[in-house]
Amino acid sequence: MEEETVKRNTKQYLAPMKAQATPRGVYDLYPAFPVGENKICSGIGCLADWIERHGQVVIDGYGGVFWDELVSELGDEFRRRGKWVRWFRTDVAMRDARTLEEMLAPDLGGEDPLFGRVTERQLRDWFDPGKLNAFRPDQEADINVLIGIGAALAGWKAPLIYVDVPKNEIQFRMRAGWVKNLGMNKPKNNQQTYKHFFFVDWVVLECLPQIELIVDEQRRGQQLLMMSGEDLREGLHRMGRNFFRVRPWFEPGAWGGQWMKQHIPGLNEEVPNLAWSFELMVLENGLMFESNGYRLEVSFDFLMYNDYRQVLGESADVFKTDFPIRFDFLDTFDGGNLSVQCHPRTTYIREQFNMPFTQDETYYILDSRQNPQVYLGFQENIRPEEFGEVLKQSQAEGKTIDIEKYVQKFPAHKHDLFLIPNGTVHASGKNCMVLEISSAPYIFTFKMYDWLRLDLNGKPRPLNVQRGMDNLYFERKGERVAKELVCHPEVLEKNEHYTLEHLPTHEKHFYDVHRYTVEDAVEVETEGSCQVWMVVEGKAVRVETREGMRQRFNYAETFVIPAAAATYRIINETPGEKVILVKAFIKKGYGFE
């Protein structure tokens, strides 16, 4: 474990190889979908057995895998077995780093620390075709292995192994200086590396449909986990017709709080705070499969590439493999205010960043204390030119801004919902536990004022005053804010079993929100949309699907019911105590503007 610590710069624990479900009402850090008995194998020996049986294999995989270590560990194992292995490494077929940097320059945003453009390149562009096609198996060798990113492009007629690693672990390895961007000679600073991941690497490194063995490499050596491609696809298929919950992960931040540390057992409490929980931020989440207690994790992308139509239903042609909804926690209990910020307009995010849709958010107040506030919308007398000048002066000279002179504040009560369509000035105040319900994009935040504070590394966080000014809707001001941006719930159904409320979102939001207060049970239909749920009060519910699957979900856990589930039942597991859930789903007939 000492080596693991050196190669991971984080206080968060490595996901265990084995885990058990938590008791009722206790948040589960490692949720998993069952795939049956004896489906997951562990250890480098198991991988070597599979390779030896086939004799000639292709091993492709994700950026962030420790390829050198994998080759070394397999090489040691085969030497112990007396087998001669001929290794072919795809990195020798890559174009040189300078050529790749020139190719990618238009996508990487120059010196901008945060933003680039989503690349339209394909993985094949990283390689010299002549070198990639020149790999030929050695007939004298006992075993031939073509290994590395892009190996499947070489066209070998051999079984394909895919080695995956979760996005959070990639970032922890990056922060420790052990991971660099695809084709680069050396690591950049963390901000630049992450930007390169987001706009380039994670775009081109798509999952492959013909995988015959999937390997989870986050725990190496004897803790490698693997499963057949057939079992993986069957698990994904069943998941896409029943339910799923991604594995969440957690990060501290400049304004972070203490609620999650106090309410979620099993987190490392040595961190000063926790600001975010990636509850359903699918680009950076994984899905765990369980067999005999083993927890094998794959990237969320696998589910969408396997069959996004099952998951999305009527909106599949709109979003395709982009899962559209995001849930995450913003914890400011005993912390600080979020930055005063906004998100880009739809045309702006498309033209500047090549994103298909923008970041339309809401704040659902899961919990609060000591009369907290949410900053939202402008004062009636806002003067845009003055606001812009004050922001720029604060950034240049380090001057405090009386932000309430320009931005309104609203009391934030438990179970309130605030609407934050793109272009709206906003910030959560301290002592809020916010469930952020949003469209899926998440890094496109234009911070305009950050209270003159430093990040956890003692440096100012980057501001984007001009980008923010270019996107703000200054007409969202005065009384209009309370009418249009503070949600006013409406009761749709009420009986002895449950109460259903509509929490109307803004006309700009492509998703809507319902809230259920369940006394005993409720039957729900997907109505052609995926549905994202969270238990926001009470201990736990049990979901039962028409295919006969059952799963408990506890307080503060997010789970998804795919459109293909059609009908299902939610049962309150603590009769006599009400349980409250919120549900987000795609509005009927939605299409991009």
pLDDT of residue 592: 58
Superfamily per CATH, domain 44-223: P-loop containing nucleotide triphosphate hydrolases (3.40.50.300)
Show the CA angle centred on residue 583, arms to residues 578 and 586, nearest 5°.
Answer: 165
Q: Which CATH class is domain 490-586?
A: mainly beta
Show the CA angle centred on residue 339, arms to residues 337 and 340, nearest 5°.
Answer: 110
- Give the closest residue to 447 by CA, choosing from 255, 277, 285: 255
Report whether 361 contacts 420 (CB < 8 A). Answer: yes
**Strand extents, DSSP E, 68-187:** 85-89, 143-147, 160-164
Q: Distance between CA 573 and CA 539 in Å, rounded?
A: 8
Whole-Å CA distances, 122 to 46, 59, 62, 171, 447: 33, 19, 14, 22, 32
In one-letter notation, the amino acid at residue 420 is: I
Say how many C-beta atoms besides its own lie within 10 A of residue 236's C-beta.
24
Show contacts of 251-254: CB within 8 Å, 24+ apart: 251/275, 251/276, 251/278, 252/11, 252/456, 253/455, 253/456, 254/336, 254/450, 254/453, 254/454, 254/455, 254/456, 254/461
Q: Distance between CA 84 and CA 75 in Å, rounded?
A: 9
CATH code of domain 337-484 = 2.60.120.10
SS (H, E, C) 349-396: HHHHHCCCCCCCEEEEEEEECCCCEEEEEECCCCCHHHHHHHHHHHHH
CA 370 to chain centre: 31
- Give the closest residue to 207 by CA, choosing from 321, 51, 127: 321
Per-residue pLDDT tens over the stretch 426-485: 999 999 999 999 999 999 999 999 999 999 999 999 999 999 999 999 999 999 999 999
- Give the closest residue to 250 by CA, choosing from 282, 218, 273: 273
Per-residue tens of pLDDT for the chain, all 593 residues: 444 557 999 999 999 999 999 999 999 999 999 999 999 999 999 999 999 999 999 999 999 999 999 999 999 999 999 999 999 999 999 999 999 999 999 999 999 999 999 999 999 999 999 999 999 999 999 999 999 999 999 999 999 999 999 999 999 999 999 999 999 998 899 999 999 999 999 999 987 889 999 999 999 888 999 999 999 999 999 999 999 999 999 999 999 999 999 999 999 999 999 999 999 999 999 999 999 999 999 999 999 999 999 999 999 999 999 999 999 999 999 999 999 999 999 999 999 999 999 999 999 999 999 999 999 999 999 999 999 999 999 999 999 999 999 999 999 999 999 999 999 999 999 999 999 999 999 999 999 999 999 999 999 999 999 999 999 999 999 999 999 999 999 999 999 999 999 999 999 999 999 999 999 999 999 999 999 999 999 999 999 999 999 999 999 999 999 999 999 999 999 989 999 999 999 999 887 55
Could you give the residue range(s) of every CATH 3.40.50.300 domain in the chain? Answer: 44-223
Could you give the residue range(s) of every CATH 2.60.120.10 domain in the chain? Answer: 337-484, 490-586
Whole-Å CA distances, 505 to 313, 329, 510, 586: 21, 19, 9, 11
Pairing of strands 160-164, 56-61: parallel
Report whether 192 contacts 94 (CB < 8 A). Answer: no
Pairing of strands 550-554, 540-545: antiparallel
In angstroms and rounded to an integer, the radius of gyration of the C-alpha atoms of the chain is: 25
CA 135 to chain centre: 36
